[in-house]
Amino acid sequence: MKRLLLLIACGWVGTLHAQQEYSSFTATGRGGATTFVTDYQAVGINPANVGLQNQYGKKMAMGFSEMTFSLHSEALTKQDLRDNLSAWIRGDSTNNFTQAEKINAAKSFTDAGFAINADVGGFGFSYCDPKIGGIAFRMSDRFQWYSKLGQQASEMLFLGFNAPYFDSLLYNNGIDTVTIANNPNMSQDSIDNVVLGFTNAPKMISQLLDGTVMTMSWTREYNLSYGRKLFGNDSTFAIYAGAGIKYYQGMAYLDVNAEGGQLNAFSSISPAFNIDYGTAASSNPSTVTQTGKFPKPVGMGFGFDLGVNILIKNKIKIGAAITNIGSMTWDGNVYTMRDTLIYDTDNPGANNYNIVGQLSDLSGDKGLFAWQGVEKRKVNLPTTVRFGASMKIGKIAELGFDCIVPTNTEAGSFQKAIIGFGGDITPVKWVRLSAGFMTGGNYDFSVPLGITFIAQDGRWEGGIASRDVVTFFTQNGPTISFSVGFLRFRF
């Protein structure tokens, strides 16, 4: 049972590091990127754009430490998100729930989407020449988490042995241990005396997790892309095309889906997460242990990107790309879950939303179902198809739209297609404003907004952006989002 709670809790572990929508601060603040981005920022979005000349006439571009982070919850208010994000960062697990707050949390998270996306562009470089085209390299860490808990999964996570599923409790009355009926209205003093919760009508894990979806993916990507003009003249009609090849290191992968009595659960997580799989680890042919200070990879793979961009009269761009074609093989700490009956638990449930701080309490080596170690598992990359168009308006503005469609349901994929509209306006040569609106993906309707500062005719750029400025004015269904970069240079 503790391992079942561990599995449910992995979503909040994911807050440390999510599927990437836009990786660069210059793209986050608008509703489109397929035809907008250039140089190394086009890597992973549309490699054809690597061959486009930037407006400043500079051939080289370089950037460091560009970061985008978003957290969205249909269950928590904006203030809840802020408070709990702060607690996660501090590692604070002292602000414990009351029993009433546990019950409310279990209700709030039932069938409520929870999404995290983080993208850290550690380094990027590109060189573009009209005669030979453009070449770009980028190293990025990308993390995605998405979950939606079924009713009983949510109750077990937050209520533990006090969940309605466990109809009976072993209770220490100070003299002896007796069996009593579970009561949702028990006082905290009484709950503190509970030793164990058990059920007289056990169900399979697949039944308890019914309606639950959890996906997590943390990969490090090394992408080398090339783009160039195939033919034509920019002032009339030209076609650019590009391709990218990428090498992946996998740090974590989780894919859980329970629907209609069918359970599919697979994980491969770096030993840096310090998850205790108990006796299952000793017989697992893929068990690895942590060495050194940095997380040890547990998977690897290769992928490809293909893209095209049509330029008309140097004003209108029409682009399309297919990204993340390929697969990864996970061969470290690989586990699948066998469907089995759940009888009891001694876990009191989550004391707050900081599941990370309570992970050791949830990951014991006891439990009535078993993880089954396997040697390796091959999975497809979360392939997406992108289409977009944009048009320059004079010398100060560019407007456009994007459509991004997932082609599979692998961990790291969007839950649904993304449609966005937006653009840039440069009122003065040292400031570029971005805005738009988007819907779909793993989020509700959002209004991105950003500002980029430009110095020395494009030699330096820095800025900040948010994927959703609406949450600054609303409480329900909020998104916490920020994107930042101050080390982007052109030569």
CA angle, 265 as apex, 163 and 210 as ends, to 5°?
Answer: 40
Measured CA to CA, the distance from residue 98 to residue 125 in angstroms comes to 51
Query: How many other C-beta atoms lie within 10 A of the C-beta of residue 467?
Result: 28
In angstroms, the CA 193 to CA 27 distance is 54
pLDDT band at residue 360 under the 50/70/90 scheme:
very low
Q: Reply yes or no on whether the pLDDT at 11 is more than 50.
A: no
> Amino acid letter at 148?
K
Q: Are 182 and 166 in contact (CB under 8 A)?
A: yes
**Position 22 pLDDT exceeds 80:** no
Average confidence (pLDDT) over 36-40:
95
Rounded Cα distance between 220 and 363, Å, is 26
Sheet holding 341-345, edge to edge: 177-181, 168-172, 194-204, 341-345
| φ/ψ of residue 228, rounded to 5 | -160, 165
Confidence of residue 356 (pLDDT cuts 50, 70, 90): very low
In the predicted structure, residue 475 carries a pLDDT above the cut 80: no
**Averaged pLDDT score across all residues of the chain:** 86
- Lowest-pLDDT range of 35-44, 67-76, 180-189, 375-384: 67-76
Q: How many helices (H) and strands (E) does the chain have?
A: 8, 23
Token pair of 315 as six digits: 């004003």
Query: Is 364 strand, coil or helix?
Result: coil
- Residue 422 class from Cβ within 10 Å (0-12 exposed, 13-18 middle, 19+ buried)? buried
In the predicted structure, residue 367 carries a pLDDT above the cut 60: no
Q: Give the DSSP letter string of 397-410.
A: EEEEEEEEEE-S-S
Contact 157, 107 (CB under 8 A): no
Query: pLDDT (tens digit, 9 = 90+) per residue, 207-252?
Result: 998 999 888 889 999 999 999 999 999 999 999 999 999 999 999 9
List the domains of the chain with CATH numbers: 2-490 (2.40.160)
Are 434 and 449 spatial neighbours (Cβ–Cβ below 8 Å)?
A: yes
What number is the average pLDDT over the span 177-201?
A: 93
Q: Any bridge partners for residue 258, and if so which?
A: 212, 263
Q: What local confidence, expressed as pLDDT, does residue 357 receive?
A: 45
* Cα–Cα–Cα angle for 52, 55, 58, rounded to 5 degrees: 80
The band of 17, judged by pLDDT with boundaries at 50, 70 and 90, is very low
The length of the chain, given as a count of residues: 491
Buried/exposed 191-216: b ≥16 CB within 10 Å, e otherwise: bebbebbbbeeeebbbbbbbbbbbbb
Q: Reduced to 3 states, what is the DSSP secondary structure of residue 331?
A: coil
Contact between 48 and 319 under an 8 Å Cβ cutoff? The reply is yes
Q: Are 402 and 387 in contact (CB under 8 A)?
A: yes
The token duo for 423 is 């653009």
Q: For the chain, how far is it from start to end, CA to CA, in angstroms?
A: 58
Which one has a higher pLDDT value, 6 or 442? 442
C-alpha 203/C-alpha 54 separation (Å) is 61
Contact 288, 300 (CB under 8 A): no
Question: How much is the pLDDT for 16?
Answer: 34
Q: Which residues pair with 54 in a beta bridge?
A: none
Q: Is residue 325 pLDDT above 50, yes or no?
A: yes
Question: pTM of the entire structure?
Answer: 0.85
CB of 89 closer than 8 Å to CB of 266: no
Q: Which of 126, 196, 61 is nearest to 490 (CA)?
A: 61
Degrees to nearest 5, angle at CA 45 with 40 and 46:
85
pLDDT tens track for 126-148: 999 999 999 999 999 999 888 88
Task: Report pLDDT for 113.
Answer: 82
Q: Residues 459, 489: contact at Cβ < 8 Å? A: yes
